[in-house]
Amino acid sequence: MKILILSSHAKSIFFYRKNMINEMQKKGHQIVVAAPEKIDDVKEEFKKINIRYKEIKFLNKTGTNPFKDLMALFYLVKLIKEIKPDKIFTYQAKTNIYGTLAARIALIKDIYVFMGGLGSVIRNENPSLIQKILKLQYKISFKAAKKIFVQNNDDLNLLINDNLLNKNKVTMVNGSGVNLDHYEKKKIKNNKTFLLIARIIKDKGIMEYIKAAEIVKEIYPDTEVQLVGYFDSNPTAIKKETIYKFEKENIIDYLGPTDDVRPFLEDAFAFVLPSYHEGTPKSVLEAMAVGRPIITTDAPGCRETVIDGENGFLVPVKDYKILAEKMIWMLEHTREAKMMGEKSYQMCKEKFDVRKVNSKILKTMEL
């Protein structure tokens, strides 16, 4: 079969969908990927893994221009008719909406939507015009889909309560999974390095992490509080000057972006993600696979990864004081924290192994 995968960001294919694609290829299926990046920028990378790449013109993953979105929709219809796929798999907001609509217009019946986290626009308790439009778009696109993959019960309940989808179309999955051969369990080398890997945006809890670091360093000044990630064009993006300011004040160590997080995870004592909401945070799954204790928020998606007090701690969203308390607790209870890291690994192996996740996706897609 020919399977078309639609994404709003080409490079994310390598982080989130590579293992799934490998399983599809093993079964003899032909894979075509389409995303907004220009073909010359990514063609060679996809060629290495035997994937045909197509550019989605006019699509901007964070753009709000309705005319450009409409042009992207028409272009997607044309692209899908040209490729003639048997099945379409979409993920990320823009391609979930416009890719699904274009697929239906192009008379494709087997459309599968993989939902990430619902994001701050949908979750905002103060309804806006943008939120109403986005919900309507999701409702229409979900009707066109054969199946919708959802990563956590919080997102599922919100979608059902807002009457956006039919529960019978839903397949629950444990995130995108993590490759336990690629992310190997490693012994903790030190007792003083905290790590956060994320896009540099407010919704990831970056500012709460920095405020917690200030408190921790007042008591334990030798503590290393590391931040890894790239600056983003998201509406909640944090300016470079802000991060560099706190780095200059020796509150955090900003280590820049990376294509391979493993060396940073292996050097860390504990992993922190104070996010406001997620689908299922892949960065946490990778830290669990390496055997690190986790401090994350009691928020949608994040709470799926931690049993509070077992493999780490769940803290209230935006509460940097309690976040600091839990970081200090780990510094003062290193033996117990390392035992939490062991439990992280066991939980990851049982629940988030990418082979189990992909097996469920492929079975749902009848591949």
pLDDT digits (tens, 9 = 90+) for 234-278: 778 999 999 999 999 999 999 999 999 999 999 999 999 999 989
pLDDT score of 79 more than 80: yes
Asked if 96 and 90 touch (Cβ cutoff 8 Å), the reply is: yes
59 is written with which tokens?
Answer: 């699509």
* pLDDT at res. 234: 74
> CB neighbours of 153 closer than 8 A, spacing ≥ 6?
172
130 has a pLDDT exceeding 90: no
- For the cut 80, the answer to whether the pLDDT of residue 337 exceeds it is yes
Cβ neighbourhood burial of 26 (10 Å; 0-12, 13-18, 19+): exposed
User: In b/e form, how buried is each residue of 212-228, taking b as 16+ CB within 10 angstroms?
Assistant: bbebbbeeeeebbbbbb
CA angle centred on 10, ends 122 and 240, rounded to 5°: 70
Q: Do the domains spanning 2-177+354-364 and 193-351 agree at the CATH topology level?
A: yes
pTM of the model: 0.90
Band of residue 43 on the pLDDT scale cut at 50, 70, 90? confident
Question: In this predicted model, what pLDDT tens digit does every residue of 178-227 receive, in sequence order?
Answer: 999 999 999 999 999 999 999 999 999 999 999 999 999 999 999 999 99
Q: Which fold has domain 193-351?
A: Rossmann fold (3.40.50)
Task: State mean pLDDT over 284-302.
Answer: 97
> What pLDDT sits at residue 183?
96
- Please state, in angstroms and rounded to a whole number, the distance separating the CA atoms of residues 226 and 58: 37
Share of the chain above pLDDT 70, in %: 100
Rama region for 279: left / alpha / beta (φ>0; ψ in -120 to 50; rest): alpha
58 DSSP assignment: T
The pLDDT assigned to 39 comes to 83
DSSP, residue by residue, 81-150: HHH--SEEEEESHHIIIIIHHHHHHTT---EEEE----HHHHH-SS--HHHHHHHHHHHHHHHH-SEEEE
Give the pLDDT of residue 307.
97
Residue 122: pLDDT band with limits 50, 70, 90: confident
Three-point CA angle 338, 341, 347, nearest 5°: 150
Q: Is the pLDDT of residue 83 over 80?
A: yes
Please list the residues that pair with 30 across neighbouring strands. 2
Q: Domain map of the chain by residue range?
A: 2-177+354-364, 193-351
Q: What are the E-state strand segments in 151-269?
A: 170-172, 193-197, 224-228, 253-254
Hunting for tokens 């042009």 — which residue is that?
71
Do residues 273 and 281 make contact, with C-beta atoms less than 8 angstroms apart? yes
Q: At the topology level of CATH, where does 2-177+354-364 sit? A: Rossmann fold (3.40.50)
Question: What's the pLDDT at 115?
Answer: 93
pLDDT for the residue 232: 85
